[in-house]
Amino acid sequence: MKSAVKSFFIFLPLIALFTFLCLYITERADVLRIADQRLVTSFQRDGRELVLDWEPLKYPCSYEVKTVARSSGMILGAPDYHQFDDEHVAGNSYRVPSTAIPMYYAISARGIFGRTFDAADSIANPNFPSPPAPVPIFRYDASNPASLMPFLVWHVVPDAVCYEVEILSAPPEIEGGISLSKLNHLFSTQMIFTNGWQADLRPFQNQRALYWRARALGFHHEPIGEFCKAEPIVIDLSRPMPTCPLVNNFDQMPNFEQPLYPVYSWIPFNQPKLHYEVELLNHPPTIEHDVMPSSDSLWRQSGLDTASLYDEYGRPFAGPYYWRVRALDENNNPVGTWSDSEQFIVKDHIGGVDVAIFGDSISHGGGAVSYPPCALEYSYATYLDFPTVNLSRSGDTSHTSLDRFENDVLPFKPKNLIILTGTNSLRAQEIKAEDVIEDIGRLSRMCELNGIRPIFLTLMPINPTNISSVFGTPTDPNWRQKLETINAYIRQQRYFIDLEPHFYDVKKMQLDDRLSVDGLHPDIKGKMMMAELINQHKELFAP
């Protein structure tokens, strides 16, 4: 017995070496033809989240999941895809980060000795079907019945300005499509400007069955895609109605980071004559869902009957922040309670940053009329190949950008500052091109005095007709001459990137309305184009 054990230990290194060689040859020669195998994948829903599962390959592997989105397709030489994430996964599942644009997931397998196998074709996120249709997030079935005023929430449809919701007594005659049901229609509204709506089902509580469906609309209420499949609503009359607005954090882009000037977004009550108040804290509320404001809040501000509120102050200090929202009536009395508190974290930039963004609302973010800057799919910073800090502020003219330079830029000590300001000055008849040029010159000198490389972006054209339709404001009829004069000056700067030529309509007269619903702020494709042009000029940036 002892001799057998001794022999085993003598041959153990040879056995290990033989096993090692077999595995090495198997992997390097691809004896098992792993390169020809395709992963069998599927998506599972776990509450609000998606989980991507796959059957593991028949060989010891780890897995890598790349998350990418299609580029604009409008800029010559730009890559076809922009990569957002690259995560190594030990098992055979991946919890998909939230997103507000169609994403694709490419899975590759890595063997014991480092060989990589492309194990799957790109897999599309199912929350963005084709043709476009909202995908419900909340479902009210027998296991999760609704109150008489439930929030109906769905994944965003990119570039949708508003949505239409239809309440039905039974599924429609034909699922999908763009027409309301003729036989089972109970109610519909097109006045929904977020990816959610509080339904008032009290008039229909005696119906034997209820269903709902939604579709996306453009500015003129033209359909963007189709209705989603009708969803049943099971009602429990004893279930309490919601007591607070719903924080809208459902489709944040990966690695969400608020700009210096935060914007807060929610799904409001379905009740007239309400307005909303936001409270900001540097700690969680002492009591969640209470009625009274906190005694130590950093800031409280009430706004109009909207679904978002812009912070009037920059938030440069590192650390966690918490915000919540409540409804107020005409007499400023609270209606219900505060919402759930939502956290965002400001990173520590005390050592300085490589690149910062500075300008007005085009750089701050937002677009398609209804999306504020916290919807980062409408921020060109989202599609850059390098990290940035967004120091922009909506509403800036070139002069107000100049006025806040010292307070908002210098504390971050950026090596490079991407500057786009002056578009609001184009619109204002009382502001001359020479005024903007003087402001840009002073910005350039202040950057140089503080060791910052200013990289100016030329102003893009605007579309006065769309601006008038959306905002109801006139545009200086001489905007085009002002644009040409200002951009001629910007092109004389040492560091600049020329955006202007890429954003005209086919007549080369004004901003292409396919790139901007409101005639001022580029929408998703336009923001992608801005980033792709900047990515092509990385040689301008100081290391």
> Do residue 411 and residue 494 come from a single domain?
yes
> Do residue 506 and residue 466 come from a single domain?
yes
Q: Indicate the range of 32-46, 237-251, 424-438 predicted with least confidence.
A: 32-46
Residues 153 and 138: beta-carbon distance below 8 Å: yes
The residue among 242, 276, 296 that closes a domain is: 242
> Do residue 285 and residue 422 come from a single domain?
no
For 290-306, how does the pLDDT look when each residue is reduced to its tens digit (9 = 90+)?
Answer: 999 999 999 999 987 78
Give the CATH number, domain containing residue 319: 2.60.40.10
> Do residue 173 and residue 227 come from a single domain?
yes
> Do residue 229 and residue 281 come from a single domain?
no
Residue 130 located in a structural domain: no
What pTM, to 2 d.p., does this model score? Answer: 0.92
Does position 33 have pLDDT exceeding 70, yes or no? no
- For 213, the enclosing helix (H) or strand (E) is strand 211-217
Backbone angles phi, psi at 67, to 5 degrees: -110, 120
Residue 145 located in a structural domain: no
Q: How confident is the model at residue 56 (pLDDT cuts 50, 70, 90)?
A: confident
For 298-353, how does the pLDDT look when each residue is reduced to its tens digit (9 = 90+)?
Answer: 999 998 778 999 999 999 999 999 999 999 999 999 999 999 999 999 999 988 99
Residue 129 located in a structural domain: no
Q: How confident is the model at residue 113 (pLDDT cuts 50, 70, 90)?
A: low
Task: Give dist(CA 473, CA 427) in Å, integer.
Answer: 9
Domain that holds residue 265: 244-348
Backbone angles phi, psi at 534, to 5 degrees: -65, -40
> Do residue 304 and residue 384 come from a single domain?
no
> Do residue 364 and residue 510 come from a single domain?
yes
> Do residue 251 and residue 218 come from a single domain?
no
> Do residue 524 and residue 383 come from a single domain?
yes
Q: Indicate the range of 45-49, 65-69, 111-115, 252-256 predicted with least confidence.
A: 111-115
Q: Give the number of domains in the chain.
A: 5
Q: How confident is the model at residue 91 (pLDDT cuts 50, 70, 90)?
A: confident
CA Rg, the chain, in Å?
27
Residue 93 located in a structural domain: yes
> Do residue 425 and residue 527 come from a single domain?
yes
Task: Give dist(CA 190, CA 222) in Å, integer.
Answer: 11
Task: Tell me how far CA of residue 368 lies from CA of 218, 223, 416, 511, in angstroms.
Answer: 9, 14, 29, 14
Residue 15 located in a structural domain: yes
Residues 319 and 346: beta-carbon distance below 8 Å: yes
Residues 395 and 424: beta-carbon distance below 8 Å: yes
Please state, as a whole number, how many other Cβ atoms lie within 10 Å of the Cβ of residue 300: 13
Q: How confident is the model at residue 12 (pLDDT cuts 50, 70, 90)?
A: low
Q: How confident is the model at residue 55 (pLDDT cuts 50, 70, 90)?
A: confident
> Do residue 363 and residue 504 come from a single domain?
yes
Please state, as a whole number, how many other Cβ atoms lie within 10 Å of the Cβ of residue 151: 19
